[in-house]
Amino acid sequence: MNSLQPELLEVAPPTRAGDRGSVGRHTAKKTPVGMWSSPAVIAENNFIYKSLSNWAFNVAVGCSHACRFCYVPSAATIKQGPKLAEYGVKDPDAEWGDYVLLRPWDEAKFLASLRTAQNTPKRLLKPDGNRAVMYCSTTDPYQVIHHTDPDQQKGLSQHARLLVRRSLQLIRDQSDLNVRILTRSPLARADFDLFKSFGPRLLFGMSLPTLRNDLAKVYEPKAPAPSQRLAALRAAREAGLNVYVAMAPTYPECDEGDLRATLKAAAELEPVTIFHEPINIRAENVERINAQADSLGINLQTHVFSTREQWQDYAVSALQTVERLAKEIGVAEQLHLWPDKSLGSASVANRMSKPAEYLRWLGKYWGRISEWP
């Protein structure tokens, strides 16, 4: 199964500060697409109330899908800002989607991280993580790497494939950990055979906030269209994979008809779980959404983000609408809402007609452990 060997790689990581790796040496134009400094390993994740996984394997810093709402760059800004500056990234939040820095492959370090995860006693793990490793939590495992130099682009694309495939093979063969794939890209279809070889240990899922390609193009400008994602999910089912759907995050423009259509399409896949959340306000993502609307000369319903209260009312309404629609469609059992922690504040609860009932409703989803086949 080891069809991709590390020694075939021709892309070298940066060796000194200020060296932006292979990219900096080959192009005059600053394109922060190349190799990161530290290797890809399995690391504990910091999910709260998501029930997605205990660990994550992230192939890159940055993501070419450039989703305007993405929550990741706030963490990147804080933790990786100085390092990203060495690659020519001045504002990691505003420039989100322009930089993709693939992590090097170091098999010994990966195996050490795999052993650490495998040997972690269950009592020390959050029970809602299902002993799973998620691909990926801060980037997309199947994004297209764009580079101005065709040779570099080819080498980087091969490296991205190596990271995903070799690590999956090792997890499959040297542990009994579960794997959760989450992507927006139908490129994942190339690995369905590998996924299948995990049996019930692997769940394949895609983010599908809407079926409207036009709307997704505004919020997720460089990600594959929802119609392509739905086709990939259908192909996954036909290939015999266990699938889940992340209606995440839905946009303020996703009206009831749109949400119903997405839920119905998801229901037809007989998914293990359907996750849902509306867009959360994180770091500068509202500024990014506004800038995108301005650049396209369109009006988005960004008033729902104007104040904390307006967002909370919007979020509760979106979550409860999806819950009602899931009952109508017959997938209430599979629905796993992700209410944000802040929705449990006294100020929100006191605005509800039945605060105690509302808090019980939140607690039901916060305490939920997502299904595993």
The reply on whether position 181 binds ligand SF4 by CB under 6 A is no
State the alpha helices, DSSP H only, in 33-134.
Answer: 72-86, 107-119
Nearer to ligand SF4, 9 or 75 (CB): 75
Candidate residues 42, 52, 67, 89; the one interacting with ligand SF4 per rule CB under 6 A: 67
Chain centre distance of CA 193: 22
- 118-157: which residues touch ligand SF4 (CB under 6 A)? 139-140
Beta strands at 33-35 and 55-57: parallel, antiparallel or unpaired: unpaired
Minimum distance from residue 143 beta carbon to ligand SF4 (Å): 7
Minimum distance from residue 191 beta carbon to ligand SF4 (Å): 17
Q: Mapping DSSP to helix (H, G, I), strand (E, B) and coil, where does residue 148 land?
A: coil
Tell me the C-alpha distance between 233 and 216, whole Å.
17
Nearer to ligand SF4, 67 or 318 (CB): 67
Nearer to ligand SF4, 84 or 223 (CB): 223
Nearer to ligand SF4, 19 or 220 (CB): 220
Taking the CB of residue 269, how many other CB atoms lie within 10 A of it? 18
Tell me the C-alpha distance between 223 and 30, whole Å.
23
- 24-63: which residues touch ligand SF4 (CB under 6 A)? 63
Minimum distance from residue 31 beta carbon to ligand SF4 (Å): 18
Q: Mapping DSSP to helix (H, G, I), strand (E, B) and coil, where does residue 224 land?
A: coil
Tell me the C-alpha distance between 124 and 234, whole Å.
36
Q: Mapping DSSP to helix (H, G, I), strand (E, B) and coil, where does residue 92 land?
A: coil
Candidate residues 33, 52, 60, 72; the one interacting with ligand SF4 per rule CB under 6 A: 72
Candidate residues 11, 20, 42, 65; the one interacting with ligand SF4 per rule CB under 6 A: 65
Tell me the C-alpha distance between 286 and 8, whole Å.
42
Helix axes 107-119, 150-174, angle to 10 degrees: 30
Q: Of 20-28, 66-74, 116-124, 277-285, which segment contacts ligand SF4 by CB under 6 A? A: 66-74
Minimum distance from residue 352 beta carbon to ligand SF4 (Å): 30
Q: Of 40-48, 67-75, 233-241, 283-291, which segment contacts ligand SF4 by CB under 6 A? A: 67-75
Nearer to ligand SF4, 223 or 233 (CB): 223
Chain centre distance of CA 196: 21
Minimum distance from residue 83 beta carbon to ligand SF4 (Å): 18
Minimum distance from residue 140 beta carbon to ligand SF4 (Å): 4
Minimum distance from residue 73 beta carbon to ligand SF4 (Å): 8
Nearer to ligand SF4, 254 or 348 (CB): 254
Nearer to ligand SF4, 56 or 70 (CB): 70
Nearer to ligand SF4, 63 or 230 (CB): 63
Nearer to ligand SF4, 197 or 228 (CB): 228
Q: Kindly state the tokens that stand for 200.
A: 């019930």
Taking a C-beta distance cutoff of 8 angstroms, is the pair 301, 252 a contact? yes
Minimum distance from residue 20 beta carbon to ligand SF4 (Å): 21
Sign of CA dihedral 232, 236, 237, 239: positive
Candidate residues 70, 263, 279, 315; the one interacting with ligand SF4 per rule CB under 6 A: 70
Taking the CB of residue 349, how many other CB atoms lie within 10 A of it? 16
Q: Which of 232, 261, 298, 33 is nearest to 145 (CA)?
A: 33
Sign of CA dihedral 176, 123, 41, 275: positive
Q: Of 7-15, 64-72, 233-241, 333-341, which segment contacts ligand SF4 by CB under 6 A? A: 64-72
Report CA Rg, the chain: 20
- 184-243: which residues touch ligand SF4 (CB under 6 A)? 184, 223
DSSP letter for each residue of 246-289:
EEEEEPTT--HHHHHHHHHHHHHT--S-EEEEEPPP-TTHHHHH
Binding-site ranges for ligand SF4 (CB under 6 A): 63, 65-67, 70, 72, 139-140, 184, 223
